[in-house]
Amino acid sequence: MVSYNPLTAQPPPEVPLKEAPLIRVITQVRFPAILSIEQRPFVASFQEAIREQYPILQPEQTQGLVYNPQGLVQTVPQTTWRFIDTEDKWRVSLAPDFMALETIAYSSSSDFIARLENLLTALGEHIQPKIVERFGIRHINRLVDLSSKDVSKLVRPEISGIVTAFGTHLKQTINESLFNVPGGEDRIIARWGLVPTNSTFDPDAIEPIPEPSWILDLDMSLSKQRDFNVAELISQAQRFTDRIYTFFRWAVTEEFLRQFGGQL
């Protein structure tokens, strides 16, 4: 079991996992609202730039809730444009204040970052945001078939925690920790724990399934206003991906790597 500090250590050599439990990877760049994104003619050139990879368009009307002195009220509906690949495994979302890329078929950081660079280039050329307010990447791992797995042997004691103490008697537990990454303003939110049957703590990213599961959810971001710059965002994406992998390798054991097809 490794003992380095995952917030400062150099990323370890990658161990490819043939049956990786990584169920979803998401990246999002947020910017001050551009109301023209609501208009079909304005987003048409962006769609054309990415249509070869993401040819299916599914616009959605979304509506949120906010608190004000009168209580909880609905916000004005806004359009989110969803651009999807033919296998329904990659999705690009464009809304007035963000663009996101997500996949359930992550193969490598190089492939993901190359796709992100193409999208950011198209965003810069056709939507032209001037400012970035937040940028982040999130990796979600999910262990299923828990009756055949001993979670306490797959992740380090600091992570398994109460699962080890109570075993099958435990029905639900979610831990959340926020870390400042030394040397900058980056942050990591790490969530892990046992999710019951047909339940989720984030319905937008983690679908309920008809069996209990154990989640390791790592989200790294920088919330800081700065100029929109594709090269800088790609550099941050690589840094975030490396740090998330370093944290992941700290959290899991060699038995975890072997169980999911890693060669050590």
62-87 per-position pLDDT tens digit: 765 556 666 666 667 789 999 999 99
Angle at 37 between CA 31 and CA 39, to 5 degrees: 170
CB 163 within 8 A of CB 214: yes
Q: Is the pLDDT reported for residue 234 higher than 80? A: yes
**How high is the pLDDT of residue 3?**
75
Does residue 99 or residue 150 have the better pLDDT? Answer: 99
Assess whether pLDDT exceeds 90 at residue 128. yes
2, pLDDT greater than 80: no
Mean pLDDT of 186-208: 94
Domain hosting residue 263, numbered range: 136-264
Mean pLDDT value of segment 239-264:
95
Give the burial class of 165: count Cβ atoms within 10 A of its Cβ; 0-12 exposed, 13-18 middle, 19 or more buried. exposed
Given a cut of 80, is residue 176 above it in pLDDT?
yes
Q: pTM of the entire structure?
A: 0.92
Which residue did the predictor score with more confidence, 171 or 97?
97
Chosen domain end from 90, 107, 129: 129
Answer yes or no: do 146 and 118 share one domain: no
Q: Are 223 and 241 within one domain?
A: yes
Asked if pLDDT for residue 206 goes beyond 70, the answer is yes
**Assigned domain for 119 exists:** yes
pLDDT above 60 (res 261): yes
Residue 16 resides in a domain: no
Q: Assess if residue 240 is contained within a domain.
A: yes
Contact call for residues 246 and 11 (beta carbons, < 8 A): yes
Report how far residue 255's alpha carbon sits from residue 260's, in angstroms, rounded to the nearest whole number: 9
